[in-house]
Amino acid sequence: MVAARKSSHMQKFSHSIVRSLALSLALTLQFASLPALASLVEMKQAEGKPVQASLALPVANIGNYLLPDGQISVNGQLVEVGAVPEWLFDRHTILTGTLIRLDLGATPASTQAAAPTNATNPSATQGSAQAVASSRLDGLVYFNGGDWLKNLRTSRISETVEAADGNTYVGRISTVTADNLSIDTLPGQTRTLALANVKNIVSPFSYRFSAQASDVKLSPENGMTTCDATTATFALARPLGQSQSAVATQPRPRMFGVASKPVFTLPKSTLAGTEGGISKKAITAMITVDAANTLAPMIALPLTMALGQGRAENTLNGYTTANRINDFFLHIPLVTSPTAKF
């Protein structure tokens, strides 16, 4: 009778654990499937002045680099990209830069032939802004700081600045301030352009970000344009006239005429606390073995009651032997043997 009661309690305990795990998994999947909440985006640009904006949008990657829990935030002209580096738990700023342009225009799916809303068109009426049923944010950022900036650098850096007047300047960008951009076109020769007159920058450090926008409004009183957006995507800026696709990945070399899928990587961070230690595989192995040893009493008790003391000891000895063999061949860190639980 006592053995039967113990067995019944063990079964009820096991069933409760299974139900709890199933409920946790269902809740996790339910929350993961919820759509992202829209965030408010504000933008304003006076005549002849750089654009000013305020936004914070999630972003998954930049180029082939993953951004765990990534976010792009803009405050005025300052752009910050945050992510959670490996071995850390909090979001850190890994890239900083300057907002060069931010335009808001109709997507190809829109049937309205409305002109894009940006700083060069501040006189657009509120009605025309609301006439665009589907709009898209398109921003241009030049990164010049952050722990991950070195990952954007290429062996040969040639930067191109395309101005609004149609001129193109090729060289190396030396400085970017709140109002101006300077590019060294030749040794000892520097050209300085107002940011408001910069139309595009082609550089390893220049990226475009885009996001679907909705509920576009323009305030005639202060010229502030507002809209709602959910997620942003990054794409390396290309020369004007080429497709500025939001696809932010670089495909791997073609094999047998078919381009393979791009590979996303997580750059190594130099922030304090990211030095790492034991590998993730070793941690996984330790957790797995420790979980198995934690469940050993649940296995041993039914064996003891059903098979008797002698056969149960033989079975446990077999488990212990298998555990030692695994430690010897797989080099899994030593854990408490199953029989030590008793």
Q: What is the pLDDT of residues 240-260, one digit of tens each?
A: 877 655 444 444 455 455 555
Tokens for 338, please give them: 């199953």
**pLDDT band at residue 4, thresholds of 50, 70 and 90?**
low
In the chain, the number of structural domains is 2
Residues 6+ apart with CB under 8 A from 15: none
Q: Is residue 57 part of a domain?
A: yes
Domain assignment of residue 306, given as a range: 278-342
Q: What is the tens place of the pLDDT at every residue in 73-130?
A: 999 999 999 998 776 778 889 999 999 999 987 654 443 434 445 544 444 443 444 4
Q: Is residue 268 part of a domain?
A: no
Residue 142 to residues 73, 236, 288, 323: CA-CA distances in angstroms? 14, 10, 45, 55
- Distance CA(202)–CA(326), nearest Å, equals 55
Q: What is the tens place of the pLDDT at every residue in 35-60?
A: 557 889 999 988 888 999 999 999 99
Q: What is the tens place of the pLDDT at every residue in 186-232?
A: 888 999 999 999 999 999 999 999 999 988 888 888 889 999 998 99
Q: Helices 296-307 and 280-294 meet at what angle, rounded to 10? A: 30
- Distance CA(227)–CA(217), nearest Å, equals 6
Tokens for 10, please give them: 């063990």
Please check whether residues 241 and 309 belong to one and the same domain.
no
Q: Give DSSP secondary structure letters for 32-54.
A: HTSPPPPEEEEEE--TTS--EEE
Please check whether residues 186 and 241 belong to one and the same domain.
yes
> What residue type is 168 in one-letter code?
T
Three-state DSSP state, 157: coil
Please check whether residues 64 and 118 belong to one and the same domain.
yes
Q: Is residue 158 part of a domain?
A: yes
